[in-house]
Amino acid sequence: MLLAHNFDVSTDIVAALSREEFAEVFRVGLSAYENLKSRLVNHPHWIVEILFPTQVFSPQQVGELCFHALAAKRRSPELSTNHLPQILVLGGIKTTPATSDSPDALQPGDWGVDVVETLSTKAFLEAIAWDTTIADKPANSIFKVEGD
């Protein structure tokens, strides 16, 4: 599973995370689960790879753990803002050929996951036409985790 970060919030509200900080969120946030491994990847879009045994975790469960890891980071004591972004985790299986020969590119059959920080998950989903995008996809090929 490869994660990308879609930061749709003004840096006046909350600081953006560097690639390294984003990867650290999941290294720390998932460390309680010995079956989950994460690493920073060298790719222009994808930032983190999470490896997990599919007989133990479903992609949706891993997405939920990623959601909670980022939410915990954003709710940490050093952030004293009342305007924390809403978090959205959108996952889907790649069904088209890889767009790059990079070893860290998303491959057919792999999960690509956008971890989104936004002021409004509803507005973000409307802007990307999520319902239309997923309308013809099998339910087991996509997932969505959302919350504040």
Q: Would you state the pLDDT for residue 147? A: 73
Instruction: Judge whether residue 50 has pLDDT over 60.
Output: yes
The span from the CA of 68 to the CA of 2, in Å, is 17
DSSP reduced 3-state for 112 = strand
pTM to 2 decimal places: 0.93
Is the confidence at residue 82, as pLDDT, over 70? no
Tokens at residue 118, please? Answer: 């936004």
What's the burial of 97, exposed, middle or buried (CB within 10 Å: 0-12/13-18/19+)? exposed
- What is the pLDDT confidence band of residue 101, given thresholds at 50, 70 and 90? confident
**Is 52 a residue whose pLDDT tops 60?**
yes
pLDDT for position 13:
83
